[in-house]
Structure 1
Amino acid sequence: MLVFFIHGVATRDACYSSNLQQLIKAEFSHREEKNPHFYASFWGSALTDMGKIWNGIDEDLAAVKKKYSKSDSEEFLKYRSFREGFFSQFIGDFFTYMNPDKGRKIRKTIAEQLYDFIEENPNNSELHIVAHSLGTVILWDVLFSDRFSAKDPALSIRAMIRQLENQTDTDVKLKHQVNLSSITLIGSPILLINTMLDVRPEKVEQFAHSYSSEQPLRWLNLIHGSDLMAYPLKANLHLAENSYLKFEDEYLLEDANWVEKIARSLGQNDLAMAVSSSDAHNSYWNCPHTARLITNNILNQLDNNGLV
């Protein structure tokens, strides 16, 4: 059993999934199941260096401050911490991926790492993908977009995880077959970004239908209630009752931090939003509830809340 992680925005540490891996292992151990093999795909080195960009912004602000010496420098660019943090990281990383050369480099890195992971585990035929944030968009793009040339690494990834006989335009030659058994999205903005990618619901259904397995493809979308980047998808997929895709949205309702909890108790919802959005978006990696739901999806098991 293979579990392959794809990270999202502002990730510069290759060990980003270590805590979640340990939590998932604890779930497997508790259920007396054999631990899966994990691989944390890492492509963060290809992303834009926002630090350099903000150094330039600071130079511009310093020049303005000299021109208007009586004004508070913070007034020229309000809400600096939010701009410099989560917001600019997400926007910067997303547009870096959409750059043709950078995006291809990122897809090539993921394709090479997935290939190595599969080849190094020849006795494991089940593949499970867990993607976060921008990583969910990359996965969605790779699986469904029609915008790629015949030699783009996206087609190599499709060939590896779909194992379709008609994938003849790639150089991928796996020594053994793997079957994609489940996908888990965490903190996914696909619903919004698909307005640009324009993947039609029938394309998703065709993807699920392409498998010969007797079981539908399990696809779980985890949404933290305070994560401004995460949204449900199920209704917009227009799935039929007999769909080959078993898709579920699942919600995490905990406060992202104690400041959010206090602000909400005082009716300060705007403040609660400001102090929680970044923590909520990154909270999945350290959340036992997330690990339990991912484990349910991987093992196709029931718990007290039903089937995820």
Structure 2
Amino acid sequence: MATDHILFIHGVNTREQREQPTYPNQLIGHIKKLIDDPNNLKTIPLYWGDVNIESEQYLMSKVARPGSRWHELWFQNTRQNTILHFMGDAALYISRSVGSKIVEKLKEQVRKGLENASQSDRLHLVSHSWGTFILFDILFAARWKDSNILGHDSAMAIRGCFRGLEPNPDEGIRIASIHTMASPIAIFSLLDIVKGEDQAKGFSELTEKQAEQRASHDITPNLKQLVANSRDKPDSNKLPWLNYLHPADPIAWPLDPLIYSLVDGLKRNIEVQDIIIKLSFVESLMQPFSQTALVMLLYGGQAHESYLHSVQVAQKIVLTIQQTRNLGLGSRD
């Protein structure tokens, strides 16, 4: 019997000083309570949050040295923890050296998590916030194809675990569903802007080589390849992609219909749904003030983390798993 694997990846500002990450535990608990066969479910929580600690400590040793103007600034704790963790995680991943360390760390976790998976099993991706960008960048961005850069071998090893991606598109586990929470992918579609500019000027679609040279972080060519290659036949069932948005989360952006405009023909093979998280009673009371900056400052961070505790998200993930089981997605029998 095929097994359903759920791979989780967290976003910025996640620091855990323990061997096994716990950030998705509450969501996993909800899923296991709701699913009809929890014993046929394997969870794989990835963790990369500690890779940047050394770089952050170095930065603070320089900025907050004795006699520095740092000591005259307000909100030092917020700057050093919340803001540095948010901005630092994003900036350091884009850098070649730290980004490669994250890829290396995730490689070992992905390979270990999927070491006993069969090609008839199904994989469900669940990503939060900046983790969506990291995962999609590793799987799809053109920059990792360059064999001369740090992280190339690790990125290719990760891609080799997924059916539909080079270097072994006919091997690996099939992705049965995608779940993105607080996804910034819409914002990072700007990395594909060169394609839009060229089309606006009347030029044809960029070749793969041109895309790699002009937009090394562009995820769209390999995303299109994965979706096309992972279908058994052109008229097979569409890959479900659920994108969860809390109304008060400033990082969350809708993907429908944007994602279809980025990848030509994607609508034939994938179905994107934007899911609005239902407001609690207390949250609904704040709705008349929802467009004010004060509400965003007071509640935006809490809303951004809420997905990992949401029963609604768990219900949607479970429903998708059951639907892909019934449709036989992933099976190669």
TM-score, normalized by length of structure 1?
0.78
Q: SS of 1:127's equivalent?
A: strand
Q: Which amino acid aligns with 2:292?
A: N
Q: Does 1:246 align with 2:251?
A: no
Aligned residue for 2:258?
236
Contact (CA 8 Å) 2:117, 2:173: kept in 1 or not?
no
Contact (CA 8 Å) 1:263, 1:271: kept in 2 or not?
no
Select which of 21, 38, 50 maps to 2:43: 38
Q: SS of 2:142's equivalent?
A: coil
Aligned residue for 2:25?
18
Contact (CA 8 Å) 2:118, 2:173: kept in 1 or not?
no
- Aligned residue runs from structure 1 range 204-283, under 5 A: 204-213=223-232, 214-238=236-260, 240=265, 243-254=268-279, 258=282, 263-265=286-288, 269-283=292-306
Percent of aligned positions that are identical: 25
Contact (CA 8 Å) 2:9, 2:128: kept in 1 or not?
yes
Aligned residue for 1:107?
103
Aligned residue for 2:211?
none
> How many residues are paired up?
281
TM-score, normalized by length of structure 2?
0.73
Displacement, 1:129?
1.1
Q: SS of 2:252's equivalent?
A: coil
Aligned mates of 2:84, 2:270 — CA distance in 1: 34
Contact (CA 8 Å) 2:182, 2:251: kept in 1 or not?
yes
Aligned mates of 1:115, 1:80 — CA distance in 2: 40
Select which of 286, 302, 309 maps to 1:286: 309
Distance change (3 Å), C-alpha of 1:268 and 1:207: closer
Displacement, 1:273?
0.7
C-alpha RMSD over aligned residues: 3.2
Q: SS of 1:15's equivalent?
A: coil
Q: Does 1:7 align with 2:10?
A: yes
Distance change (3 Å), C-alpha of 1:234 and 1:152: farther
Aligned residue for 1:306?
none
Displacement, 1:109?
1.7
Q: Does 1:160 align with 2:164?
A: no
Contact (CA 8 Å) 1:7, 1:135: kept in 2 or not?
yes
The answer to which of 133-142 and 122-131 deviates more is 122-131
Select which of 98, 114, 131 maps to 2:94: 98
Q: SS of 2:180's equivalent?
A: strand
Q: Does 1:147 align with 2:143?
A: yes
Displacement, 1:300?
2.7
Q: Which amino acid aligns with 1:39?
A: I
Displacement, 1:299?
2.6
Displacement, 1:261?
5.5
Q: SS of 1:152's equivalent?
A: helix
Displacement, 1:96?
1.4
Q: SS of 2:237's equivalent?
A: coil
Contact (CA 8 Å) 1:28, 1:34: kept in 2 or not?
no
Aligned mates of 2:24, 2:112 — CA distance in 1: 18
Aligned residue for 2:204?
none
Distance change (3 Å), C-alpha of 1:223 and 1:270: same
